[in-house]
Amino acid sequence: MNPALDERDQIRAAMDRILTGSAARSNGALTIVALAQEADVPRNALTQRHLDLKNEFYEKVRARGQTPDSEARLRKQIVKLKELRAKDATELTQLRSDVQGLVEALTTLALENQQLREQLAIPAVNVVPFPGPRPAQPLK
């Protein structure tokens, strides 16, 4: 018997078992991994040698009004990623606003610093220096 034909028959039988809810070797998930496990063939048999059977499996799943498990997981991941993207956009807007406020504060401080330096540069007539520390007196 041709091994490829035998493998194809195993895959089709596994397809029927999974779609009828009577999986024997796998968890019955609507995935290629479960189909390969159920058919007792390597996963690459479906992803490389028998692409038509993989596509047929997914078509049958969709024809029953179901969504393949891998597609459902991807859809959930897309929802999470869109939420993260929206959150990041909000945070980015806030950070841009914060940067503007920080630039304004820095500019104000730089101007005040410049004004203080200019005041220090003007010699003060009535400023008396504070005397420094006195030398310590020996104890008697």
How does pLDDT run along the chain (140 residues), one tens digit per residue?
466 669 999 999 999 999 998 888 898 888 899 999 999 999 999 989 999 999 999 899 888 888 888 888 899 999 999 999 999 999 999 999 999 999 999 999 999 999 999 888 887 667 666 777 777 777 76
The pTM for the full model equals: 0.53
Residues 3-32, buried b or exposed e (16+ Cβ, 10 A)? Answer: eeeebbebbeebbebbbeeebeebebbbbb
**Are 55 and 8 found together in one domain?**
yes
**Are 82 and 62 found together in one domain?**
no
Residue 127 lies in a domain: no
User: Quick one: 36 exposed, middle or buried, by C-beta within 10 A (0-12, 13-18, 19+)?
Assistant: buried
**Are 57 and 109 found together in one domain?**
no
**Are 47 and 94 found together in one domain?**
no
**Are 48 and 75 found together in one domain?**
no
Residue 137 lies in a domain: no
**Are 79 and 107 found together in one domain?**
yes
Q: Cα angle vertex 120, ends 114, 122, to 5°?
A: 110
